[in-house]
Amino acid sequence: MKRNGILNAQLSGALATLGHTDLVMVVDAGFPIPSTATRVDLAIAEDLPKLETVLELVSKELIVEGVVLAEDVVTHNEPLAAFVQETFSDAPLETRTHAEMLGEMAQRAKIIIRTGAFNPWGNIGLVCGVDVPRWFDEPGVVVPDYYQDRMRAAESRTD
């Protein structure tokens, strides 16, 4: 038996397919999931599981280099905005219109994880990244400028 982490076989397997720049969305119970995405439906009942619970678990499984959420989260759902900023503090946050989240972002997503959340604008996109210190740790390998900040942040955590 798996000891810890995500125990759901479909979700764990789907996350293992993700690569650099892939988009995974963790969404509320009412999100219109396109047929092109891998759908992982965890919804059991209202707020079961909660959006925040799934985001927290997924954050421990993935390297996230960008977060996308609807503008309305920032202006109309401060508790969710604060949770997302705290959970993904190392990743830049980008906002889109609610229509873009339901349309363009949903079409781009490789995986969409449906929660039981009844949480306004509770649809969060996570852009997968790489573990910069591990990818650029060989002698003679140059860290590109766009990864320098992430390398310094990782180095300061180990000091």
Backbone angles phi, psi at 30, to 5 degrees: -100, 5
- The angle formed by the CA atoms of residues 49, 51 and 57, to the nearest 5 degrees, is 85
Residue closest to 31 by CA, chosen among 108, 118, 94, 93: 118
Bridging pattern class, strands 23-27 and 38-41: unpaired
Bridging pattern class, strands 23-27 and 124-128: antiparallel
The residues carrying an active-site annotation are 20
Kindly state the helix (H) or strand (E) to which residue 64 belongs, with its residue range. strand 64-70
Residues forming beta bridges with residue 25, ordered by sequence position? 112, 125
Dihedral over Cα of 117, 19, 132, 66: its sign: negative
